[in-house]
Amino acid sequence: MTTARALLAAASLAAGLALPLAASAAEGQPHPPREKWSFSGVFGTFDRAQLQRGFKVYREVCQSCHQLKIPFRTLSQPGGPQFSQAQINALAAEYKVQDGPNDAGDMFERPARAADNIPWTFANENQAASANGGKAPPSLQLMAKARSYERGFPLFIVDALPFFQYQEHGADYIHALLTGYKDPPAGFTVPPGGHYNEYFPGHIIAMPKPIATDGQVEYPKGPDGKSPVPETVEQYSRDIAAFLMWTAEPNLEARKRTGFMVIIFLAVFAYLMYYVKKKVWAKVGGEAEGLPGTAPLGPTH
Partner 1 sequence: MSDHASTYVPKSAFAKWFESRLPIAGLVHSSFVAFPVPRNLTYFWTFGAILIFMLGAQILTGIWLAMHYVPEATKAFDSVEHIMRDVNYGWLLRYLHANGASMFFIAVYIHMFRGLYYGSYKAPREVLWILGVIIFLLMMATAFMGYVLPWGQMSFWGATVITNLFSAIPIVGDVIVSLLWGGYSVGNPTLNRFFALHYLLPFMIAGVVVLHVWALHVTGQNNPTGVPIKSAKDAVPFTPYATIKDVFATICFLIFFAWFIFYVPNYLGHADNYIPANPAVTPAHIVPEWYFLPFYAILRAVPDKLGGVIAMGAAVVILAFLPWLDTSRVRSANYRPLYRQFFWVFVIVCVLLGWLGSKPPEGGYVIASRVCTIWYFVHFLVILPVLGLFETPRPLPSSILETVLRGKKGGAGMPAGAAAAPSTKG
Stretch that binds partner 1, among 46-54, 86-94, 134-142, 206-214 (CB under 8 A): 134-142
Side chain identity at residue 172, one-letter code = D
Residue 181 pairs in a beta bridge with 197
Q: Determine, following the binding rule CB under 8 A, whether residue 2 of this chain makes contact with partner 1.
A: yes
Q: Determine, following the binding rule CB under 8 A, whether residue 159 of this chain makes contact with partner 1.
A: yes
Q: Output the CA angle 208-203-231, nearest 5 degrees.
A: 45
DSSP string of 207-259, one letter each residue = S--SS-STTSSPPPP-TTSS-SS--SHHHHHHHHHHHHHHHH-TTHHHHHHHH
Please say whether the beta carbons of 206 and 194 come within 8 A: yes
User: Please, what is the minimum distance in Å from the beta carbon of residue 123 to partner 1?
Assistant: 17
Give residues with Cβ within 8 angstroms of 15, minimum separation 6. Answer: none
Alpha-carbon span 261 to 33, nearest angstrom: 32
> Regarding beta strands 96-99 and 108-111, do their DSSP bridges make them parallel or antiparallel, or are they unpaired?
antiparallel
Contact residue for partner 1 among 109, 214, 234, 287 (CB under 8 A): 287
Alpha-carbon span 151 to 23, nearest angstrom: 9
Residue number, 108 or 274, with CB nearest to partner 1: 274
User: Please, what is the minimum distance in Å from the beta carbon of residue 26 to partner 1?
Assistant: 7
Q: Determine, following the binding rule CB under 8 A, whether residue 107 of this chain makes contact with partner 1.
A: no
Q: Determine, following the binding rule CB under 8 A, whether residue 31 of this chain makes contact with partner 1.
A: no
Q: Determine, following the binding rule CB under 8 A, whether residue 206 of this chain makes contact with partner 1.
A: no
User: Please, what is the minimum distance in Å from the beta carbon of residue 39 to partner 1?
Assistant: 12
Contact residue for partner 1 among 42, 123, 155, 206 (CB under 8 A): 42
Alpha-carbon span 124 to 128, nearest angstrom: 6
The CA radius of gyration of the chain, in Å to the nearest whole number, is 27
Residue number, 104 or 295, with CB nearest to partner 1: 295
Q: Which 252-281 positions form the footprint of partner 1 (CB under 8 A)? A: 254-256, 258-260, 262-263, 266-267, 269-270, 273-274, 276-277, 280-281
User: Please, what is the minimum distance in Å from the beta carbon of residue 154 to partner 1?
Assistant: 11
Q: Determine, following the binding rule CB under 8 A, whether residue 13 of this chain makes contact with partner 1.
A: yes
User: Please, what is the minimum distance in Å from the beta carbon of residue 243 to partner 1?
Assistant: 15
Residue number, 35 or 231, with CB nearest to partner 1: 35
User: Please, what is the minimum distance in Å from the beta carbon of residue 116 to partner 1?
Assistant: 14
DSSP string of 98-164, one letter each residue = EE---TTS--EEEE--TTSBPPPSSSSHHHHHHHTTTSPPPPSTTHHHH------TTHHHHTTSTTT
Contacts with partner 1 by CB under 8 A: the residue count is 76
Residues 224-253 as x/- pattern, contact with partner 1 by CB under 8 A = ------------------------x-xx--
Please say whether the beta carbons of 98 and 107 come within 8 A: yes
Q: Which 185-204 positions form the footprint of partner 1 (CB under 8 A)? A: 201
Contact residue for partner 1 among 56, 169, 175, 238 (CB under 8 A): 169
Q: Determine, following the binding rule CB under 8 A, whether residue 290 of this chain makes contact with partner 1.
A: yes
